[in-house]
Amino acid sequence: MDTQKTKIVFYAKRNFGEKMNASFDFIKENWKPILKYITYLLLPLCLLQALSINGLMSGTLNVASLQQNPGVAPGLESFGIMFFVSYGAMILCAMIGSALITSLLYALIQLYNSREERLVEITMKELRAPLMHNLKRYFILVLALIPITIGVFALIAILGSLVPLSLVLLIPALIACMIPIMLLPPIYLFEKVGVWSAFAKAFRLGFATWGGIFAIVFIMGIIAGILQGITMTPWYVATIVKYMFTLSDPGSAVGVSPLYNLLVYLLAVLQSFGMYLAMTFTLVGLAYQYAHANEVVGNVSVESDIDKFEQL
C-alpha cells in the first residue's frame, strides 16, 4: 500500500466523477485489508450460506422435474421441508452477512479517516471496537425499519384496496423515497444521532442529492452485478448440469458423485463470497455520496445562493 499518496478526504463536495474516483481510490488503496477482513468475517458465514443455497436450488429443481410428468400438479408439499428450512436459513444468512459487510466497511472507512497511518498494518484489535459499535447500531436500525416497512406496505395495501387509483401515486412515491433511505446506514453508523434523527437527515440529504444517490447506486450496481455474475456463473452451470444429468439418468455418476456434489458446494461458497465482495462497491460509493451530501446540505443554511441541485 502506497502511503505517499494524498489521503482521501472524506467530507468534501464532489461532482459525480470525483465521488466515483474517491470510492475506487479507497478500494484500490486498501484492497488488502478489505479482502483480509471480509474473508476473516464472512467466509465462515458463506460456508453455511452455501448449504442453504444448494438446498433451495435442489428443492426448486426437484419440483421442476415433477412438472415434466404429465398430469402431475406439484403443490407446496412437493418442495419438501428442507426447501423451506433452506429458504429461511438463506434469508437469515443474508441478513447477518449484510450487517457484517456494512459494519466492517464503514468501520474501515472510520479508521482510515481517523488514523494518521490510514489502514496500514491495521489489526483486528483496533478494528474490533468500531466494528462492534457499527454492528450494534446496524441491528438497532434494522429493528426500527421492520415495523416501519410493515406499516408502509400495510398502508399502501389498505389505500390500494379502498382507492385502486391511489396506487398510481403511492408506488412511484414509495420508489422515490427508497433512494434517500439508502443514506440511512452511513448516516446512522458515521454519526452519533438517534434513529429518528437519522431518518430525518436521510430524507433531508437524500432528496437534496437524489440524482447523485441514484447514479452512484446504478453505476456501482452494474459493477457489482458483473463481479457477482463472474462468481455465480460456475455454480449455476454446475448445478444445471447436475440437474440435467439427474433428470435424464437418475443413476448417472454425475448426479450422485460425492466429488461432484463437493464441487457444487465449493462453487456455492464462491458465489456467496463473491456477492459480499460485490457489495463493497455500492457500500463504499454510498459512504462517499453521504459525505458529499452532508457537505452540500450542511452549507445550504449558510450560503443562501447555493445551488440545491447536484450536478452529476
Q: How many CB atoms lie within 10 A of CB 4?
A: 4
Most distant CA pair in the chain, distance: 76
Q: Is residue 9, in this structure, part of any structural domain at all?
A: no
- DSSP code of residue 76: G
Q: Is residue 26, in this structure, part of any structural domain at all?
A: yes
Rounded to whole angstroms, what are the CA distances from 75 to 3, 68, 89?
60, 14, 22
Q: Is residue 6, in this structure, part of any structural domain at all?
A: no
Domain carrying residue 290:
16-298
Of 273, 296, 293, give the one whose Cα is nearest residue 285.
Answer: 293
Q: pLDDT tens string for the chain (312 positions)?
A: 444 578 999 999 999 999 999 999 999 999 999 999 999 999 999 999 999 998 888 766 665 555 555 555 555 555 567 777 888 899 999 999 999 999 999 999 999 999 999 999 999 999 999 999 999 999 999 999 999 999 998 988 898 888 888 888 888 888 899 999 999 999 999 999 999 999 999 999 999 999 999 999 999 999 999 999 999 999 999 988 877 776 665 544 444 578 888 999 999 999 999 999 999 999 999 999 999 999 998 654 333 333 433 444
Q: Is residue 288, in this structure, part of any structural domain at all?
A: yes
Q: Is residue 240, in this structure, part of any structural domain at all?
A: yes
In angstroms, the CA 239 to CA 261 distance is 9
Q: Which residue in this structure is represented by grid cell 484500490?
A: 28
Q: Is residue 132, in this structure, part of any structural domain at all?
A: yes
Q: How many CB atoms lie within 10 A of CB 280?
A: 23
In angstroms, the CA 283 to CA 229 distance is 18
Q: Is residue 164, in this structure, part of any structural domain at all?
A: yes
Q: In total, how many domains does the chain have? A: 1
Q: Is residue 3, in this structure, part of any structural domain at all?
A: no
